[in-house]
């Protein structure tokens, strides 16, 4: 039987057949970028995954990551890859766009991708786990790791709330691309023994 990583990787390859998983430290330009942003985002090299087109730049070699962690990471990044493919240059330009209200368009794209993390949290531990992840995400959205993409922790929580509610109600898991991502995460349902 396959595990979530095998299934998520197969799904990613359905959409991005030539996907590449690269350790950030293998590339000189990525090491330079990491040093450049270190004063603001010290965890960029060690905790954050970056995706550009078909390449997923990981903070560790993929073979050194726990399989479920890598599966969840790739599921999150698939949302970005699908958005990048659909929106092209508009995605990249808007990802860097700061609004005059202390918010960025980056937060919109990240909320879409972090919805996967919330869905997986629900699978892992129900409502309590979703709330724990939502609290952590409010810190992520309002912190330096993503260059303060949303001003204020309470405001970030309010921004995330509709996504949290859609996860908890089951509404989000019926929408693309979350439906196929969650199906791949769960795997095939066991046969009905009553049949």
Predicted confidence at residue 22, as pLDDT, reads 97
Q: What is the widest separation between alpha-carbon atoms in the chain? A: 61
Q: What's the pLDDT score for residue 1?
A: 55
Phi and psi angles of residue 52, each rounded to the nearest 5 degrees, phi first: -135, 110
Categorize the per-residue pLDDT at 192 as very low, low, confident or very high, splitting at 50, 70 and 90. low
* pLDDT the model gives residue 61: 97
DSSP percent split of the chain into helix, strand, coil, nearest 5: 65, 10, 25
Is the pLDDT score of 92 beyond 60? yes
Q: List beta partners, residue 168.
A: none
pLDDT tens per residue across span 140-179: 999 888 878 888 999 999 999 999 999 999 999 999 999 9
- Predicted confidence band of residue 100 (pLDDT cuts 50, 70, 90): low
- Does the structure show a pLDDT above 80 at 189? no
Q: Which of 9-23, 44-58, 97-111, 130-144 has the lowest mean pLDDT?
A: 97-111
Print the SS3 string covering 103-133: EEHHHHHHHHHHHHHHHHHHHHHHHHHHHHH
> For residue 190, is pLDDT > 70?
no
At residue 96, does pLDDT exceed 80?
no
């Amino acid at each position: 039987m396959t595990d979530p990583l095998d299934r998520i990787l197969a799904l990613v390859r359905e959409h991005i057949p030539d996907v590449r998983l690269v350790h950030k430290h293998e590339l000189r330009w990525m090491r330079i970028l990491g040093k450049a942003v270190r004063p603001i985002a010290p965890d960029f090299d060690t905790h954050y995954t970056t995706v550009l087109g078909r390449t997923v730049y990981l903070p560790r070699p993929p073979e050194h990551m726990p399989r479920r962690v890598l599966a969840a990471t790739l599921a999150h990044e698939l949302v970005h890859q699908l958005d990048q493919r659909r929106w092209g240059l508009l995605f990249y330009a808007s990802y860097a766009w700061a609004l005059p209200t202390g918010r960025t368009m980056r937060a919109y794209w990240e909320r879409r991708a972090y919805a996967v993390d919330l869905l997986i949290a629900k699978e892992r531990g129900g409502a309590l786990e979703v709330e724990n992840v939502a609290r952590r995400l409010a810190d992520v959205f309002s912190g330096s790791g993503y260059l303060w993409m949303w001003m204020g922790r309470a405001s970030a929580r309010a921004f995330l709330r509709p996504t949290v509610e859609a996860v908890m109600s089951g509404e989000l898991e019926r929408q693309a691309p979350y439906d196929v991502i969650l199906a791949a995460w769960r795997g095939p349902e066991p046969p009905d023994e009553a049949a």
